[in-house]
Amino acid sequence: MTNSNNNPFAWQTPEEIKAEDVISLFVNVFTDFYNVPKPGHTFLNGPRGSGKSMMFRYLRPDCQLIAREKTPLRDHPFFAIYIPVKSTGLQITELERLDNKHAAALLNEHLMTMYIAAISFGSLAELSKELKLEDSLTEIKDFYKNIFAKVLHNSGWYEELPQISDDDRADELFTKLKDVCDSVFRAANGYVNEMSFGSELVAYKGALCSYYDFLLPLLRAVKQFSFMPQGPIFLLIDDADNLSHTQTMVLNTWVSARTSSDISLKISTQLNYKTYITNLNSRIDAPHDYNEVNISAVYTSTSEKNHYNQRIREIVKKRLMNAGIEVDPSDFFPPDAKQEAAIRKIGEKIKTDFPETGRGYRANDDVVRYARPMYIASLKGPSKSGSTYSYSGFDQLVHISDGVIRQFLEAASQMYASMLAKDNAKTKQQGVHLIDPNVQNDIVRKRADKYLFEEFEKLYKNEENDPIASDRALKLKKLIDALGSAFHHILISDNSERRVFSIAFSDTPDKEVLEVLKLGVRNGYFHESGIGRKNGLGRTRLYILSRLLAPYFLLDPNGFAGYKFMTNEAVKQAMHNPEAFASRIKIRGYKEIFDNPQTNLFTEN
């Protein structure tokens, strides 16, 4: 019997999920992102909700012990320590007051080092409770007295350390190490707070601990514990976009050290990493210094879309099974049957007419390309019933989620809750065994509206104290409106490629245009990629509009989508005057604009 009150798609932040639940929910995505669990520094880039934190959660020792069926920790290939950056004591604006850049870098590195050291020993303390590491007491005590104390003293910390006793357990020893690191961190933090209340800079006289002289030798020594894996320690630095510019340069300097055989830095970003320059003004580069994984690029590329569909299918299967619902995902999220029958009918006519009107090499190709756009176009007749197109069906919902796992799960959770709210006798008795297509369509349309309005309002408010940033946000909204309208016009035209979601530059975009598009990428309204130029000389930037917005602009999110080349000036027109941009297409017709070199906004791929 299904628990009708148990929403299988309810979303929790990975940090809050117990290890047992992580294992029951996790789908192995590391075949797509194989560098993440391997030795080596790695940047894991992707929008919020794309699965970065869930990957990090799975790599932590409590999950690995379950996933590896209680294989002893020393036989694991790595040991992962989770380092959250968001909402931490590292976000200290007063540090920007330090005029001496070298001093600012030293103090920031000290704070980062002690923050990571404290979390590392805290993680070992928690693990000690589970593994009962009493057999390792002697080596832990030796580490405390002969390694930790010496390295800390050499860094300028002269206060007496807490005494250890014969009765101390392993977790208590690691907790004492954590507490010392917390004390060192607070001392430096106190100096920073003192600066904030005075007009004069005060000389810093405390300890200075660095990655090379403190954190690296300590973690290398930790690796030598008999219970630890022989492989590297992974420092899972989550949300690194939240580091200051100086702190980001410090982290880059650690990456440039190439210490990954012992300490591998796994750094997640939401596509807003501030710089790739080190404290020495050199640049870290892939693949020499690190590997880079861009989740959006993998899951939105044509070759990997089936991978993403399969990942979502596996996730849904697991969640339904855990809730006691034995239904295939495609049956749980059925499409609108009447609509699909009408589209199949159009497809059959395309096949019948193919010898006379076919544009592709095979009739089936034309069916895929044109049947659904022709159906959508047919809804735009005198009845003005375009809104009756149904965004339903598992595959279509996967496309709309646009490579962001959380987007699918949040929408599915709302759909499930909506079905429960119907409160009919059958649902009460048997639970939810499918999501009505009307409910699916209603939810994704509301989410598209929210994404374009409520979320954009938040974005604008976040930037409203900065006139340049708020103006940039308004330009982004105008650009999205203009492109969405243009893509819809192309969809219902008689163009050879009607399903368009992307623009590529036929010339070089200027700084204003790039800054607006960068804001769009950072907030998930666009994905950035690259593509070959029309003349075959090198590559140019490609920007893909998020398919989350397909229901708002009445676009077809399914399958392969083409792209159009645009000039920098055309994009600027869309950013500054989207009404004029849209009017030219609406009044003159897309083909006329496309064919006329004097007024061309787009050029064909």
The answer on pLDDT for 47 being more than 90 is no
Q: How far apart are CA 218 and CA 233, in angstroms?
A: 11
Please state, in angstroms and rounded to a whole number, the distance separating the CA atoms of residues 446 and 458.
17
**386, 325 contact by CB (below 8 A):** no
Mean pLDDT, residues 364-379 taken together: 87
Say if strands 42-45 and 263-269 run parallel, antiparallel, or are unpaired. Answer: parallel
The bridge status of strand 539-545 relative to strand 500-505 is: antiparallel
CB under 8 Å, gap of 24 or more: what pairs does 539-544 form? 540/504, 540/505, 540/506, 541/504, 541/505, 541/509, 541/517, 542/502, 542/503, 542/504, 543/502, 543/503, 543/504, 543/517, 544/300, 544/501, 544/502
Summarize the confidence of residues 220-238 as an average pLDDT: 96
In 3D space, the residue among 481, 442, 501, 492 whose CA is nearest the CA of residue 574 turns out to be 481
**H or E, element range at 43:** strand 42-45
* Contact predicate 505/565, CB 8 Å: yes
Q: With 80 as the cut, is the pLDDT of residue 88 above it?
A: no
The number of CA neighbours under 13 Å toward the Cβ of 99 is 4
The pLDDT score that the predictor gives to residue 124 is 96
d(CA 498, CA 556): 9
Strands of the 263-269 sheet, one edge to the other: 79-84, 233-238, 263-269, 42-45, 291-294
Q: How many angstroms separate the CA atoms of 143 and 139, rounded?
A: 6
Give the angle subtended at the CA of 11 by the CAs of 10 and 15, to the nearest 5°: 140
- Per-residue pLDDT reduced to its tens digit, 385-429: 455 899 999 999 999 999 899 999 999 999 999 998 876 656 656
**Amino acid at the residue 228:** M
Cβ burial 57-87 (10 Å sphere, 16+ → b, else e): bbbbbbbbbebeeeeebeebebbbbbbbbee
pLDDT at 62: 94
What mean pLDDT do residues 539-550 have?
91
Helix or strand (DSSP H, E) at 532: strand 526-532
Higher pLDDT, 320 or 204: 320
Lowest mean pLDDT among 193-197, 205-209, 247-251, 273-277: 193-197
Query: How far is Cα of residue 21 from the mean position of the Cα atoms in its chain?
Result: 21
Query: What pLDDT sits at residue 163?
Result: 92
Tell me if 398 sits within 8 A of 312, measured CB to CB: yes
* Band (358; pLDDT cuts 50, 70, 90): low
CB-CB contact of 439 with 415 (8 Å): yes
Question: How far is 500 from 477, CA to CA, in rounded Å?
Answer: 19
Q: Count other C-beta atoms under 10 Å from residue 377's C-beta.
A: 17
Most confident of 157-171, 288-302, 342-356, 581-595: 157-171
- Give Dmax over CA atoms of the chain in angstroms: 91
Terminus-to-terminus CA distance in the chain, angstroms? 54
DSSP for 67-132, written as a single string: HTTT--GGGSS-EEEEEE-TTSTT--GGGGG-S-HHHHHHHHHHHHHHHHHHHHHHHHHHHHHHHT
pLDDT digits (tens, 9 = 90+) for 110-159: 999 999 999 999 999 999 988 888 889 999 999 999 999 999 999 999 99
Grade residue 535 by pLDDT with cuts at 50, 70 and 90: low
Task: Determine the Cα–Cα distance for residues 418 and 392; give it in Å rounded to an integer.
Answer: 15
Cα 121 to Cα 124: distance, rounded to the nearest angstrom: 5
E strands, 191-282, are 233-238, 263-269
Residues with Cβ < 8 Å from 471, sequence gap 6 or more? none
- State whether the Cα torsion 36-37-38-41 is positive or negative: positive
Residue 63 pLDDT > 50: yes
Please report the pLDDT score of residue 91 as a whole number: 58
With a cut of 70, say whether residue 307 has pLDDT above it.
yes
Q: What angle in degrees, to the nearest 10, is found between the helix axes of 405-421 and 394-401?
A: 130
CA 547 – CA 502 distance, rounded (Å): 11
In the numeric block, which tokens belong to residue 513?
């245009």
Q: How many residues in total does the chain contain?
A: 605
Retrieve residue 250's tokens.
């410090």
